[in-house]
Amino acid sequence: MNLYEIMLEHFAPKGSERGIFTYLLAQSDEEVYEWLKTDPSLSDGRAVYTPYQGNEADGKTYAIYNQSFDIVGHEKYKDRMIRLKGELNDEVELTDLYYGMTLVGWSMVKSDIPSEQIELLKDTGISIESA
């Protein structure tokens, strides 16, 4: 099992905020994506909402660019989000922020984390979800 941190960044007209939303135990980046796609409710009562399901259903493909900005291939939305580890790490231009926008991303904190360490973290009050 790997330990991931799920991060949120919210943009609004009067400011923005970025932080760790929760931690997740998962086998892979794809498993993190699939968990986020379900708009999961967390054990502490909060929820994470993403556009993943709708955007994936659109069936669009996205260009992949190299360092020289040449198109070197295409990928589907799901593959793009897994490669970038969420829309938080995408270089999209944010527009129409009147109501604000929240972006979600993730990064691996520790791979192959022992169950003893997981229990220790939970015992100290850290919220850890499971995919």
3-state secondary structure 64-83: EECCCCCEEEEEEHHHHHHH
> Nearest Cα to 58, choosing from 39, 77, 41?
77
Distances (CA, A) of 74 to 55, 70, 85, 96: 16, 12, 17, 27
Residue 101 scores a pLDDT above 90? no
> Cα(62)–Cα(121) distance, rounded to whole angstroms?
39
pLDDT (tens digit per residue) in 32-87:
999 999 999 999 899 999 999 999 999 899 999 999 999 999 999 999 999 999 99
